[in-house]
Amino acid sequence: MALNDRRDFLKLCLSAAPALALSRRAMAQVAIIGQAHTAPSPQLRRFVDPLPIPRTLEPHRRRHGKLSYRVRMVEFERRLHSDLPPARLWGYEGEYPGPVFEARCGIPVSVKWENHLPLQHLFAIDQRLHACAPPTPAVRVVPHLHGARADSRSDGLPENWFTPGHSVVYHYPNQQNAATLWYHDHAGGIERLNLYAGMAGFYLLRDDRELAMHLPDGDYEIPLLLQDRRVDANGQLVYQPTFADGTLPAPGAWAPQLFGDLPVINGAIYPFLEVEPRRYRLRVLNGANGRFFNVYMNLAKKPTDIPRLVTFHQVGSDGGLLADPVPMQHLLLGPAERADLIVDFTGLEGQTVTVSNNAKSPFPGWDLINPLYAPLPELMQFRVTRPLAPGAKSFSMPPPISVPRLDPAQAVCTRTFVLTEDTDKQGRSLRMMIDGKMYDEPTTEFPVLGSIEKWRFINTTDDAHPMHLHLVQFQIVERQGYDHASFLLYNKLVMRGFARKPAPNEMGWKDTAILNPGEVLTILVPFLGFTGKYVYHCHIAEHADNDMMRPFVVVAPGKKETSDA
Ligand code: C2O
Ligand code: CU
Ligand code: CU
């Protein structure tokens, strides 16, 4: 037997099989009766606040075919709901979500990111996490453009943080497909807190081909940032993570999951938007710390009524347009995933479409009698109350385009990563890991620039993880179950059941993909653009902070593995 020590034995007991994991959860559920729970947010009226539409950021200079921007990160106050007092928030240019970058393929952008935040953090910092012990300052930021192919020095690596009074200039060449990118904070060990404080925004990259397609634009193209938050009676954000059994860590300490009991869409709780009976383009981003959303458009009045679903089309994924629009009734998005949607409100005059959600938290969830976390069945409303604007031009669906599928035979190597959760004697999470390594242990992966590699992630934990790689856009090959017992006892990977091809809406370019519990996710990754250090991690921000993140270093062809760049 490969049971080396007590830790392995515990790991085996605690996460050997979904059935075991379920009973662990179920037992924990029984055990916590009577224990302290997070105070719920105040009851708030739904759909009374208009959906905030983030404004477009103006470049501060245009020179030599290059755009320069300046973005200040500041603390500011804003109401998250009209019945609440203003909340203290952190945001780019004092906005939540941050302003939208309108970028064009081939036109490089540089951004001066300035840290004007106060010296005190909005939330408690767990000094046990890497890079968090004094004398490291509490307030640190580093912006990351998620999905971008950028030089390592402009990537926003977790260790490249800077403190209030400092700034960096990052360069984004925009040499990649038109896509829905987003920017957010990435400071090591406190990314989850900075993101939760409000530090996220859209970066829409367009090209001539897309601009010639007559997709809905202007007022008819809506970025939608989906998040969840908890607030106190004064309207202030409450960052309260929990363990898998719903119990709370010591005040200010890390715990693996964070679920708010209120949906916050574009920075507003339960907002609504009045729309015309016509096509709209929605750029949907799951910007939550840890919540998955399974979104559907519902014409029924109440969440308990029989749903009347509106079919919509997904036309793009993380890294650009899909080959063909995919008709859908449900859209599953893990944290950091994006979907480019066309929703047609034609013929729905006078009706209300509730953007609804039925994803469990944690995802994919366990069938317990009482779910530990609010399910957030309603997110926001579209009210088809506006008349069609006179002389309105008509918008089309995108025509079919070619999105070449990578061939697994092109892969020069296969790398396999094992995701685990370290637990204490009570089964409470101590940290999440990839290959049992901490982020700051030496780099082990050195892909060669220009090559294609096959990466496989094995999930030995109870929950799904949205796996993200910096620098690249990849393609999903398949997902398949495997035998936990053989893997944990004999370190043998025995596949189970059928390998499932990605769903039609996952057939395009991705930079984040869901890894289900008990499964192996296989992706094909072309390493293009730059050599240097990047990271891959789970995009549940709590997991990324402790410590489900590892570096990789892209090396030039002909060069052998080197030490850390
Ligand atoms: Cu969106 Cu490394 O992150
Ligand atoms: Cu990223
Ligand atoms: Cu994770």
* Residue-level pLDDT at 11: 41
Q: Which atom of ligand 1 is nearest to the CA of 544?
A: 2
The rounded distance, in Å, linking the Cα atoms of 40 and 240 is 11
**Nearest CA, atom 1, ligand 1:** 146
- For residue 459, give the nearest of 489, 428, 417, 500 by alpha carbon: 417
* Residue in the block written with tokens 């013929």: 347
Q: Which atom of ligand 1 is nearest to the CA of 146?
A: 1
Fold agreement between 49-211 and 218-383? yes
Confidence of residue 460 (pLDDT cuts 50, 70, 90): very high
Per-residue pLDDT of 72-123, as tens digits, reads 999 999 999 999 999 999 999 999 999 999 999 999 999 999 999 999 999 9
- Please work out whether the CB of residue 543 comes within 6 Å of at least one atom of ligand 1: no
Q: What percent of the chain has pLDDT over 90?
A: 87
> Distance from the CA of 205 to the center of ligand 3, in angstroms?
28
Average pLDDT, stretch 520-539? 98
> Distance from the CA of 175 to the center of ligand 2, in angstroms?
16
Average pLDDT, stretch 518-540? 98
* Residue-level pLDDT at 9: 37
- Please work out whether the CB of residue 184 comes within 6 Å of at least one atom of ligand 1: yes
Average pLDDT, stretch 357-379? 84
Please provide the average confidence, as pLDDT, over all residues in the chain: 92
List the beta bridge partners of residue 479: 500, 521
* Residue-level pLDDT at 18: 40
The conformation of residue 219, written as its DSSP 8-state character, comes to: G
> Distance from the CA of 551 to the center of ligand 1, in angstroms?
12
Query: Tokens for 270?
Result: 């339960």
Confidence of residue 500 (pLDDT cuts 50, 70, 90): very high
**pLDDT greater at residue 4 or residue 103:** 103
Confidence of residue 561 (pLDDT cuts 50, 70, 90): low
What does the domain layout of the chain look like in residue ranges? Answer: 49-211, 218-383, 404-554
- Answer yes or no: is pLDDT of 1 > 60: no
- Please work out whether the CB of residue 550 comes within 6 Å of at least one atom of ligand 1: no
> Distance from the CA of 212 to the center of ligand 2, in angstroms?
29
Report the topology of domain 49-211.
Answer: Immunoglobulin-like (2.60.40)
Q: Which ligand is nearest to the CA of 547?
A: 3
Average pLDDT, stretch 507-512? 98
- Answer yes or no: is pLDDT of 36 > 60: no
SS3 content of the chain, % helix, strand, coil (to 5): 10, 40, 50
- Answer yes or no: is pLDDT of 23 > 60: no
- Please work out whether the CB of residue 146 comes within 6 Å of at least one atom of ligand 1: yes
- Answer yes or no: is pLDDT of 28 > 50: no
Q: Model pTM? A: 0.93
Chain Cα centroid distance, residue 138: 24
- For residue 512, give the nearest of 322, 313, 333 by alpha carbon: 333
> Distance from the CA of 538 to the center of ligand 3, in angstroms?
5
Torsional sign, CA 90, 363, 317, 518: positive
Q: Which atom of ligand 1 is nearest to the CA of 147?
A: 1
Q: Which atom of ligand 1 is nearest to the CA of 182?
A: 1
The conformation of residue 33, written as its DSSP 8-state character, comes to: T
Q: Which residues contact 76 (CB under 8 A, 6 or more apart)?
A: 88, 89, 90, 91, 94, 95
- At 293 the three-state DSSP class reads strand
Per-residue pLDDT of 160-212, as tens digits, reads 999 999 999 999 999 999 999 999 999 999 999 999 999 999 999 999 999 99
Per-residue pLDDT of 548-560, as tens digits, reads 999 999 999 987 6
* Residue-level pLDDT at 504: 97
- Please work out whether the CB of residue 67 comes within 6 Å of at least one atom of ligand 1: no
Per-residue pLDDT of 274-290, as tens digits, reads 999 999 999 999 999 99
Average pLDDT, stretch 462-473? 97
| CATH, domain range 404-554 | 2.60.40.420
Q: Which atom of ligand 1 is nearest to the CA of 158?
A: 2
Q: Which atom of ligand 1 is nearest to the CA of 512?
A: 1
Q: Which atom of ligand 1 is nearest to the CA of 156?
A: 2
List the beta bridge partners of residue 297: 310, 355
Query: What b-and-e string marks burial along 419-456, b requiring 16 or more CB atoms within 10 Å of the CB?
Result: bbbbbeeebbbebbbbeeeebeeebebbbbbebbbbbb
Instruction: Give the DSSP per-residue string, 252-274.
Output: T---SB---SEEEETTEESEEEE
**Nearest CA, atom 3, ligand 1:** 146
- Answer yes or no: is pLDDT of 443 > 90: yes
> Distance from the CA of 156 to the center of ligand 2, in angstroms?
9
Q: Which ligand is nearest to the CA of 542?
A: 3
- Answer yes or no: is pLDDT of 31 > 90: no
The rounded distance, in Å, linking the Cα atoms of 279 and 397 is 9
Confidence of residue 498 (pLDDT cuts 50, 70, 90): very high
Q: Which ligand is nearest to the CA of 158?
A: 1
Per-residue pLDDT of 390-433, as tens digits, reads 888 899 999 999 999 999 999 999 999 999 999 999 889 999 99
The rounded distance, in Å, linking the Cα atoms of 63 and 110 is 11
CATH architecture of 218-383: Sandwich (2.60)
Q: Which ligand is nearest to the CA of 460?
A: 3
Chain Cα centroid distance, residue 292: 9
**Nearest CA, atom 2, ligand 1:** 470
Q: What percent of the chain has pLDDT over 70?
A: 92
The rounded distance, in Å, linking the Cα atoms of 442 and 46 is 49
> Distance from the CA of 151 to the center of ligand 2, in angstroms?
13
- Please work out whether the CB of residue 537 comes within 6 Å of at least one atom of ligand 1: yes
The conformation of residue 95, written as its DSSP 8-state character, comes to: B
The rounded distance, in Å, linking the Cα atoms of 355 and 382 is 7
* Residue-level pLDDT at 7: 39
The answer to whether 368 and 291 are in contact (CB under 8 A) is: no
